[in-house]
Amino acid sequence: MNMTRRQFLLAGAGAAAAAGTNLHSAQLPSLAAPAAPIVDFHVHLFGVGDGGTGCYLNNSGNQRLTYLFFKRLMRLTENGRMDEDYIQRLVALLRASSVDKAVLLAQDSRYDAQGRPDRENTSFYVPNGYLFQIVGRFPDLFIPCVSINPKRRDALEELDRCAELGARVLKIHPPIQDVDPAAARFRPFYRRCAERSVIAMFHTGTENAAETVGNELCDPARLVTPLEEGATVIASHSGMSNFNEPEDFFPHLLPMVRRFPNLYCDTAVLAETVRWRTIPRMIQEPEIMARTIHASDIPFPANPIVFWNRLPYGELFRLATEENLFERDYRLKLALGVPAAVFERGAKLLTETP
Q: For the chain (length 354 residues), average pLDDT per consecutive 10?
A: 33 34 38 85 96 88 72 90 96 97 97 93 95 98 98 98 97 95 98 98 83 85 98 96 84 96 96 90 96 96 94 96 97 96 97 76
pLDDT computed for residue 62 by the predictor: 60
Q: d(Cα 43, Cα 126) in Å, to the nearest integer?
A: 13
In a domain, 21, yes or no: no
Q: Please state, in angstroms and as integers, the Cα–Cα distance from residue 24 to each residue in 43, 88, 288, 311, 320, following that order.
A: 30, 38, 22, 7, 18
Q: Residue 221: give the domain boundaries.
A: 33-352
In a domain, 191, yes or no: yes
pLDDT computed for residue 263 by the predictor: 98
In a domain, 231, yes or no: yes
Task: For CA atoms 120, 131, 35, 313, give the dihedral sign.
Answer: negative
In a domain, 288, yes or no: yes
Continuous H helices in 63-212 = 65-73, 82-95, 128-137, 155-164, 174-177, 187-195
Q: d(Cα 250, Cα 213) in Å, to the nearest integer?
A: 20
In a domain, 228, yes or no: yes
In a domain, 278, yes or no: yes
Coil, strand or helix at 300: coil
Q: d(Cα 13, Cα 18) in Å, to the nearest integer?
A: 9
pLDDT computed for residue 274 by the predictor: 87
In a domain, 175, yes or no: yes
CATH number at residue 147: 3.20.20.140
Count: domains in the chain: 1
Q: How far is CA 2 from the centre of its chain?
A: 33
In a domain, 159, yes or no: yes
Q: Calculate ∠ Cα 166-190-286, nearest 5°.
A: 90
Residue 43 near residue 329, CB atoms below 8 Å:
no
